[in-house]
């Protein structure tokens, strides 16, 4: 019983110190917030603006992808109905949009369906597609298609050079490049 009578006073003393220290810390923080109110509001505004911009850009990108996918489908319908000029025109628009996914597909459809007769125009399309921000392996696939196109139009030296680049890059397309270069 004697221990209990001495210690409660010490506990109360410590608790009062802790409570006082906590109140002091809260007062210090609130004083800093009041003094730096403009800074905190500015930071909050900047964070909200950045988040809003990110959401808007994501929405815009999704909308653009949907529009391009609709154009791609429309071009395919025109191609099936043998309206090659309309189909080619839409595929060109898609290539010029530099969409990561549909530009490559549009170029492939132009080549496979022989929609463009001008070799220089097709080589310009390849250059546009090569500028698109795509993965290394997608770039190597485009190089492989370009090498095949060069061989098709009897520019074997340029085609072989691209195939050598793919082989030297140790790409997943290396085996196909080796097979074509034989």
The structural domains of the chain, with segments of one domain joined by +, span: 7-134
pLDDT band, very low/low/confident/very high, at 50 (cuts 50, 70, 90): very high
pLDDT at 180: 87
Q: Is the per-residue pLDDT at 16 higher than 60?
A: no
**Residue 173 burial (C-beta neighbours within 10 Å; 0-12, 13-18, 19+):** buried
pLDDT band, very low/low/confident/very high, at 1 (cuts 50, 70, 90): very low
pLDDT at 13: 46
pLDDT at 112: 93
> What angle do helix axes 102-112 and 119-131 make, rounded to 10 degrees?
160
User: Among 6-10, 129-133, 135-139, where is mean pLDDT lowest?
Assistant: 6-10
pLDDT at 2: 42
| Residue 143 contacts residue 162 (beta carbons within 8 Å) | yes
pLDDT at 4: 46
Q: pLDDT tens, 161-170?
A: 999 999 998 8
Q: CA 160, CA 129: separation in Å to the nearest integer?
A: 20
CA angle 65, 69, 70 (to 5 degrees): 120
What is the pTM (predicted TM-score) of this model? 0.70
Q: CA 146, CA 119: separation in Å to the nearest integer?
A: 11
């Amino acid at each position: 019983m004697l221990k209990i009578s001495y210690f409660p006073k010490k506990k109360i003393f410590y608790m009062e110190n802790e409570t006082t220290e906590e109140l002091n810390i809260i007062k210090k923080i609130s004083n800093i917030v009041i003094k730096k109110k403009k800074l905190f509001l500015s930071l909050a505004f900047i964070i909200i603006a950045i988040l809003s911009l990110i959401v808007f850009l994501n929405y815009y990108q999704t909308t653009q992808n949907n529009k391009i996918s609709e154009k791609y489908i429309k071009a395919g319908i025109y191609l099936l109905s043998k309206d090659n000029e309309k189909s080619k025109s839409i595929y060109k628009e898609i290539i010029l949009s530099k969409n990561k996914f549909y530009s490559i597909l549009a170029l492939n459809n132009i080549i496979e369906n022989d929609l463009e007769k001008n070799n220089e125009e097709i080589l310009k399309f390849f250059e546009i597609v090569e500028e698109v921000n795509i993965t290394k392996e997608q770039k190597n696939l485009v190089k492989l298609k370009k090498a095949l196109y060069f061989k098709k139009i009897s520019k074997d030296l340029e085609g072989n050079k691209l195939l050598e680049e793919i082989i030297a890059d140790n790409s997943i397309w290396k085996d196909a490049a080796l097979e074509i270069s034989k």
